[in-house]
Structure 1
Amino acid sequence: MTARDTAAVAEVMRACTRLRVPMTFRSGGTSLSGQALSDSVLVDTRTGFTGVEVLDGGHRVRVQPGATIRAVNTRLAPFGRKLGPDPASEVACTVGGVLANNSSGMQCGTELNSYHTVESMVLVLPSGTVVDSAAPGASRRLAEQEPELHAGLLRLQRRVREDPTSVATLERLFALKNTMGYGLNSLLDHDDPLDVLVHLMVGSEGTLGFIASAVFRTVEVLPHAATGLLVFDDLATASSSVPDVLATGVATAELLDAESLRVAQADPGCPAQIRRLDVRRHAALLVELQADSPDALAGLRGDAEPGLERLPLTSLAELTSDAGERASLWRTRKGLYSAVAAARPQGSNALLEDVAVPVDRLGEICRGLTGLFDTHAYEAPVIFGHARDGNLHFLLNERFDDAAMLRRYEDFTTDMIDLVLDLGGTLKAEHGTGRIMAPFVERQYGAELTGVMRELKQLADPHGTLNPGSVLTDDPGLWLRDLKTAPVVEEEVDRCVECGFCEPVCPSRSLTLTPRQRIVLRRERESALARGDHALVASLDEDYDYDGLETCAADGMCATACPVLINTGDLVKRLRAEGSSRTAERAWTTAAGHWGTATRAASAALSVADRLPGPVPVALSRAGRRVAGTDAVPLYDPALGPGGEVRRPLADPAAEAVLFSACVGTMFGGGVDAALRTLAERAGVRLRTPDDLASLCCGTPWKSKGHHDGYQRMASTVRESLHRATDGGRLPVVVDASSCTEGLTEVLEGMTVLDATSFVREHLLPRLSITSPLPAVVVHPTCSSTALGVTDDLVALARACAGEAGDVRVPGAWGCCAFAGDRGLLHPELTASATAPESAEVATMDLPAGAAYVSGNRTCEIGMSRATGATYRHVVEVLEEATRPR
């Protein structure tokens, strides 16, 4: 079920506790070890719990569990603050998951993790009791409402504190990153039972209660940094050098072994420092210096360089402050798990584990793990991680559907546990105990402290309702059961490692499915086929039509976030093509040959509908949808207004560029075509268009719907037309809608295709003068501007419109509007869901009179206008008005 608020969670927890039905919470995605799974009640807490409230000028922040770390940090950025935990998966991991696992990250260490930066919580206990730890008298009310829990926490506190061996064990283990078992260090660190409970919740993996919200103390963002890659001859040298590296004052030291570097080199966006390496047995440390000013950074660099030069490096260390180069290096590190896992053999699972040892024993653990990989014949294993904390991640490829391979995995894990514990380490550093390590909690803590944990679980959750099997278990063989398998399905599906990076940018995430869920269901369908469960296959196919296909915007935003560039939209387009009827295919192929007529008809239909009383065309469209289906007939929206004008050809033998006006302007109106022509004339830049412009289209409607024949017909027509218009590719093609720019880029190989925002910024804006600056401009980037890399141009034009003193804002919650051509008319619920976070943020903006709202694509303008009630226009239209001669 999807829970929308705290009251709903409390009701479900009370019911499950009363009925003795197990329940598990799910927020973001988790690793194989901590995967949220259940054969009973699974409660999704992402959709209804995404609130972020900045407090005290950014020094504190109240967050609900469904918000991602990236989303929270985006809200804190204007204040120069951020959350303490900084996991590499910040784009996808949610605050709820970070709290549940006590995830830390690359820089926060043990000092700035969730445990040490959380201030208060709103908790829901298995009984349904809701506790706000920040409320006056909260501890007293806990004693009144949950007397056994309150008294039991005091009893456990005395038990631990009075046992010197327990105290010493906890102090030793929690000096490292340690998320194994429960955080019993809270029994030492806090006196009030409520404070103890709050901090026990951190790292408890949803087994003690539900965290409905939390208030964190934030940390300062140091805005000046220098990042570099220290390359060593081998892993042993790199890991043994970590203490000397840390002595130079670096804030981070991320370890990458040879296999990590090789995989990184396969990424088209691989930074030059990695791409030019001739990787053999090399290993590297990604380090960074951070400061609050350029002078302070220069001082840190001066202090660090002598120490770095004394390191046994393969090549001289390069520290760069270039923002692009630094971003490229960190993108490689943050996407490393997914990139490595995606290269695994088909049918295998990528198993990611993490351990921690004292930093001075890092070299030993690296040598020990390498030896175990060889002993158990694991091919191409990967070691990387947070070397500054002695925290290593290692990744193995394994087939859990093969009994022999399962035995190998069992033997390896047993040996690995011995290795880590013999070195004084922890078996889980930041990923949570989960189900795989639950049977080994006693090996790490001993019988006494494990007994304390069991009593704690009994106090908080006496019936074992929450997430059974995680953190603690009485079943020593649990870790070898219910392991995920990876049936071979199709190319897009098989590469996916379910990291979840795609989910926060997916426009359908709060309505139906995310890209990851679409892929998981394809895998489940394949497994059901293999089992002969044809009833389940039929049920999945029936539900997938709407949830998986009809409500996918196919916008490619998932690919912009995916470390291995999987575009689930391409999968959806192919499945749509496979399910398309011959009648529909013929109709769309015919339309490709008569597109001018089709667009004029659409324009005329909108103009006629606009003159009728609103309820009439709405009723007619609804009747058509009942007959032909919601994915075939658009739902009319009176706010669309009349259709646009037919695209006029423009002939100029001396043209400097070829204008490709988008057909959406004919169908849905808008003034970007006229504005762009006017600006070009005003700037003295000459344009021409194809002579058959009115009949052309970028091909996106056919491609997104899966009509292959029609797409090929239109693509061929466009290529021939623009080959003539551009003098064989000599002139650039300028497109006035970003989605059409993206579509034409795929069609016109060998030709230069420019989005209008880029063309205007580079070629027209320097020749224009702002005569009527706007007081404020709100910018909606588009999925296509993101994919094309032209969002900066869109924002730059908005800044030009606003002048030097203007206020330009890009909402932190912006995302794809999901209008997606006609998808917003076919399924308006998709656009409403996709735009809700951004429109809510826009509604809170305190803007002066005369503010403008801009985007770079006509259908996106319609979608955002519908969502916010403000009138969005193409930024080029607004620029034309701002540069009109007085």
Structure 2
Amino acid sequence: MARDASHFDLTPRAVVTVASAEEVARLFAVGLPLTFRSGGTSLSGQGVTDGILVDSRRHFRDIAVLDHGLRVRVGPGATVRQVNARLARYGRMLGPDPASEVACTLGGVVANNSSGMACGTAANSYALIDSVVVVLPSGTILDTGDTDADDRLRALEPALWEGLARLRDRVRDDPASRTSVERQFALKNTMGYGLNALLDHDRPADILTHLLVGSEGTLGFLASIVMRTVPVHAHARTGFLVFEDLAAATAALPELVATGPAAIELLDATSLRVGQPDLDALHTLNIRDQAALLVEYRAGSAAEADDQAGRATGVLGRLDLETPPALMADAAARNRLWHLRKGLYAKVAGARPAGTAALLEDIAVPVPELLPTCRELIGLFERHAYDHAVIFGHAKDGNIHFMLTERLGDPSGRDRFGRFTEDMVGLVLSRGGTLKAEHGTGRMMTPFVRRQYGDELYDVMREIKRLCDPGGILNPGVLLSDDPGAHLAGLKTSPPVEEEVDRCVECGFCEPVCPSRDLTTTPRQRIVLRRAIEQARRDGDPALVASLEKDYEYDGVDTCAVDGMCQTACPVQINTGDLVRRLRSTDAQAAWSFAARHWSATTRTMGAALSTARRLPLIASPVSRAAHRAVGAPLWTRDLPGGGSPRPRLTPAGRPDAILFASCTNTMFGPTSKDTGDTPPRSPHRDTGDMRSAFALLCARAGIVLATPPGLPGLCCGTPWKSKGMTRGHDAMAERVRPALAGDVPVVVDAASCTEGLRQLVGADATIIDAVQYTADVLLDRLTVTERLGDLALHPTCSAQRMGLTPALLKVAGAVAERVTVPSSWGCCGFAGDRGLLHPELTAAATAPQVAELAGRHFDAYASCNRTCEVGMTRATGHPYVHVLDVLERVTR
């Protein structure tokens, strides 16, 4: 839990999880050094500590939309993406738009004054903060949104109130200080404290609110945040402008900025070479010194976007470009451009040599200084032999990022990085810039805060810290430090381990989508532990190796759902499930190989066992619990269905339209029962049938002829073997399945996870289509809905997400119900084939947010697209989840 996305590595004395502002106040009374952290995406070291690390993510995820979306109250542990999902129905969003939105929390965004691609300084956290509930180190809890907040601050914290008023006047009355603050905060600037608060606000309570923005957890704990929102501009026109060189690109900026684009992103020649394979426009280009600007105009309607693009056409036509200018409206084409821009970090970081760290830094300079700054920065890369460094960033704001890789565990690498940093600091300050534009001061830039601001303003910052945190317990060593070597202390070492581990940059993007995140470990933590085991092995500490490996068996291997959702969020495309599958490969290979050869009998036996257990629950429950405790056998509970029916055998006389590959999960798990045991379903639609029968009926109504492959009862998609690392059984099954499916007739699969598994198993030997996709593309137009439902709760599956099946799922769901609800807290259910039977606590933890969100709401039906996921969601909610095609069959009778 100690590691974050930065290149610093400190081990905390303890990790504490807090659940309320009152608990934080009691924690302050202990008087020990505290560092608050939620998402852990920070890049400058503000989220690591050798004191007490306080987790504020797990219990501070509340989101309340206010004033019809004009404001939103958020706990510090909710991610930007979660907040924007809740605001979407109001046509609003948060102003800050960091690339890490999937993982970064609003607490971190505000504490770092994060911005992003388009928000600049007009819509960042400082500009849009409305009020906060802050816990001060004294234990005082203050809501700065209360009408009497300033009076309460004066009464409860008189020294703080008086001190802030005094510092306000001190800066305002000093012309040099005022000029310096105005100049530096005209840029995107997250270096030191936000002294512009002393100029922009009069009441100490308001000054405090805005000083907390960008304070990196050094002044108080943000227990709740109220932010003003901005409109969603859903229509965009995007252009990719390639220039002869950096000089030509930066020379075009003034005219382009005057056309009012939402974003202008700069990519240097190295960036273009890195991204060349992914963009058609670059394929034929001989990249030498070229640079590009990615320009986007955004509006609330297509007509407004077209109008903006039209006004910009004249300017684009006057530019001397290497490729023809064009502003595209096509979403797919625009997404490819942004994929190139956002993927630069992934490309470079993912290709770095094993054992090196990816260092992503950010600076800002006045726009006229951008070209000379970039030129001199490239010169520094050459001088210090950083051969593969890239420059990209937000050109409209003069804010650029650069990334290089270094062996920080090697003294020579650390020294080279130190020399480069010293030269870079001198360069940026000589150009009137700021050393941190978005990523916060952290530990990385603390030695240089005084150099950027001068002695007087640095002393003001010191006084702010003393007034708020007189004991110096909050995040010591962050933002302010007089240690000239602070940026080179406590650096990470990353010993080579495994392919997935070596590529990881520990950014934490994977954590919000991981079903075990609130139970045991996340993908980032699994990888951190693999590195720790290897480092202990290298250090000659066998006792630590044994201890870590023993705990890792449950925390890292057994409770991993291997659902692959981590890969969908990972900037370097790591599927930690692949690693866990290999770690699961055990001496059970022979047993699973036997099962592969006798799969029909195996599935029928498992289904019969479930049916028997339902008939004899008083015997099945204690026997199952005893076997589960003794040998880790699957745990039977009363909310599980009975076994299903044998897989069908369809042999039409003529050529079929499609081959139905019926999933064996529907043989093992029968239809959702009218009685789910201890928690009976509350849906009026209890006449749930077999999904395979439902799909066959739908095809018959649509005039589609189905057949099944020869030997179907003994065939499988291979997922049970792959998820356990049982390569021999997986290969044996592949040898049987591939010839059975070979041909030109499309193969339709009735469970999403089986569709994905079968595609991986047979490759290009057959065309594999999920039944939901087939229904959306072929059947829907041939069917008539006779009884449309009112409200449908829908659970997309992780397989559906990875395969891009969710749009088709939503299309089918929209055909059967007036209103379709996918919980904004949606995630993998954690049932994961048999994980829900082996470790039901995984499913309970993974589904808890969805259960809370759906509680107390009425739906006419509950649907998904995979049998085991339906079982998991039924168990979690007490409502009978069925396949969406089962619902479609009912409403088209």
Q: Same fold (TM over 0.5)?
A: yes
Corresponding residue to 2:705 among 676, 686, 689: 686
Q: Partner residue of 1:588?
A: 592
Name the aligned partner's letter for residue 282 of structure 1: Q
Q: Aligned with 2:763: secondary structure?
A: coil
Residues in 1 aligned to 2:343 and 2:45: alpha-carbon distance in whole angstroms: 19
Name the aligned partner's letter for residue 673 of structure 1: R
Conserved? CA contact 2:18–2:55, under 8 Å = no
Q: Aligned with 1:547: secondary structure?
A: helix
Conserved? CA contact 2:40–2:508, under 8 Å = yes
Structure 1 residue ranges without an equivalent (≥5): 724-728
Corresponding residue to 1:78 among 72, 84, 89: 89
Pairing of 1:392-411 with structure 2 (within 5 A): 392-411=400-419
Pairing of 1:143-542 with structure 2 (within 5 A): 143-266=154-277, 270-274=278-282, 277-542=285-550
Q: Aligned with 1:873: secondary structure?
A: strand
Name the aligned partner's letter for residue 636 of structure 1: W
Q: Aligned with 2:614: secondary structure?
A: helix
Q: Deviations over 1:399-445 (max 9, x none)?
A: 11222222221111111111111111001011000111001100000
Residues in 1 aligned to 2:594 and 2:858: alpha-carbon distance in whole angstroms: 50
Residues in 1 aligned to 2:352 and 2:378: alpha-carbon distance in whole angstroms: 19
Residues in 1 aligned to 2:392 and 2:628: alpha-carbon distance in whole angstroms: 54
Pairing of 1:645-724 with structure 2 (within 5 A): 645-652=645-652, 653-670=654-671, 671-723=690-742
Conserved? CA contact 2:621–2:637, under 8 Å = yes
Residues in 1 aligned to 2:790 and 2:215: alpha-carbon distance in whole angstroms: 49
Q: Partner residue of 2:28?
A: 14
Q: Aligned with 1:526: secondary structure?
A: helix
Residue 842 of structure 1, CA deviation: 2.4
Residue 236 of structure 1, CA deviation: 2.9
Q: Are 2:791 and 1:776 equivalent residues in the alignment?
A: yes
**C-alpha RMSD of the superposition:** 1.6
Corresponding residue to 2:804 among 789, 796, 800: 789
Name the aligned partner's letter for residue 342 of structure 1: G
Pairing of 1:34-49 with structure 2 (within 5 A): 34-49=45-60
Pairing of 1:88-107 with structure 2 (within 5 A): 88-107=99-118
Q: Deviations over 1:777-820 (max 9, x none)?
A: 22211110111111111111111212xxx112222221111110
Q: Are residues 794 and 393 of structure 1, via their aligned partners in 2, closer, same or farther at CA, if it must alter by over 3 Å?
A: same
Conserved? CA contact 1:176–1:357, under 8 Å = yes
Q: Partner residue of 2:759?
A: 745
Q: Are 2:875 and 1:866 equivalent residues in the alignment?
A: yes
Residue 356 of structure 1, CA deviation: 0.4
Q: Aligned with 1:639: secondary structure?
A: coil
Q: Partner residue of 1:726?
A: none
Q: Are 2:654 and 1:628 equivalent residues in the alignment?
A: no
Residues in 2 aligned to 1:350 and 1:844: alpha-carbon distance in whole angstroms: 47
Corresponding residue to 1:617 among 604, 617, 620: 620
Name the aligned partner's letter for residue 880 of structure 2: T
Q: Aligned with 1:222: secondary structure?
A: coil
Please give the TM-score of this superposition, normalised by the length of structure 1. 0.95
Q: Aligned with 2:454: secondary structure?
A: helix
Residues in 1 aligned to 2:596 and 2:236: alpha-carbon distance in whole angstroms: 53
Conserved? CA contact 2:16–2:52, under 8 Å = no
Q: Which moved more, 1:145-154 or 1:852-861?
A: 145-154
Conserved? CA contact 1:650–1:691, under 8 Å = no
Pairing of 1:66-145 with structure 2 (within 5 A): 66-145=77-156
Residue 158 of structure 1, CA deviation: 2.1
Q: Deviations over 1:584-625 (max 9, x none)?
A: 222211111111111111111111111124x54222211111
Conserved? CA contact 1:88–1:333, under 8 Å = no
Residues in 2 aligned to 1:218 and 1:415: alpha-carbon distance in whole angstroms: 40
Q: Are residues 832 and 4 of structure 1, via their aligned partners in 2, closer, same or farther at CA, if it must alter by over 3 Å?
A: farther
Q: Which moved more, 1:525-534 or 1:451-460?
A: 525-534
Conserved? CA contact 2:270–2:388, under 8 Å = yes
Conserved? CA contact 1:16–1:23, under 8 Å = no
Q: Aligned with 2:87: secondary structure?
A: helix
Q: Are residues 499 and 259 of structure 1, via their aligned partners in 2, closer, same or farther at CA, if it must alter by over 3 Å?
A: farther
Q: Deviations over 1:43-94 (max 9, x none)?
A: 1111111111111111000111111111111111111100011112212211
Conserved? CA contact 1:678–1:880, under 8 Å = yes
Conserved? CA contact 1:16–1:465, under 8 Å = no
Residue 845 of structure 1, CA deviation: 4.5
Conserved? CA contact 2:772–2:865, under 8 Å = yes
Q: Deviations over 1:726-756 (max 9, x none)?
A: xxx2211111000000000011122100101
Conserved? CA contact 1:16–1:22, under 8 Å = no
Identity score, percent:
58
Q: Partner residue of 1:567?
A: 575
Q: Are 2:823 and 1:811 equivalent residues in the alignment?
A: yes
Name the aligned partner's letter for residue 105 of structure 1: G
Residue 776 of structure 1, CA deviation: 2.3
Residues in 2 aligned to 1:262 and 1:882: alpha-carbon distance in whole angstroms: 54
Residues in 2 aligned to 1:74 and 1:446: alpha-carbon distance in whole angstroms: 43
Structure 2 residue ranges without an equivalent (≥5): 1-14, 672-689
Q: Which moved more, 1:356-365 or 1:712-721?
A: 712-721
Name the aligned partner's letter for residue 621 of structure 1: S
Q: Partner residue of 1:603?
A: 607
Conserved? CA contact 2:131–2:227, under 8 Å = yes
Name the aligned partner's letter for residue 822 of structure 2: V
Q: Are residues 75 and 773 of structure 1, via their aligned partners in 2, closer, same or farther at CA, if it must alter by over 3 Å?
A: same
Q: Deviations over 1:388-407 (max 9, x none)?
A: 10001111111112222222
Name the aligned partner's letter for residue 737 of structure 1: A
Conserved? CA contact 1:10–1:130, under 8 Å = no
Conserved? CA contact 1:89–1:334, under 8 Å = no
Q: Are residues 443 and 840 of structure 1, via their aligned partners in 2, closer, same or farther at CA, if it must alter by over 3 Å?
A: same
Q: Aligned with 1:540: secondary structure?
A: helix
Q: Partner residue of 2:844?
A: 832
Corresponding residue to 1:756 among 759, 764, 771: 771
Q: Partner residue of 2:640?
A: 640
Q: Deviations over 1:441-469 (max 9, x none)?
A: 00000011111111111121112111111
Q: Deviations over 1:515-568 (max 9, x none)?
A: 111111111222222212222222211221111111110011111122322111
Residues in 2 aligned to 1:302 and 1:413: alpha-carbon distance in whole angstroms: 44
The number of aligned residues is 859
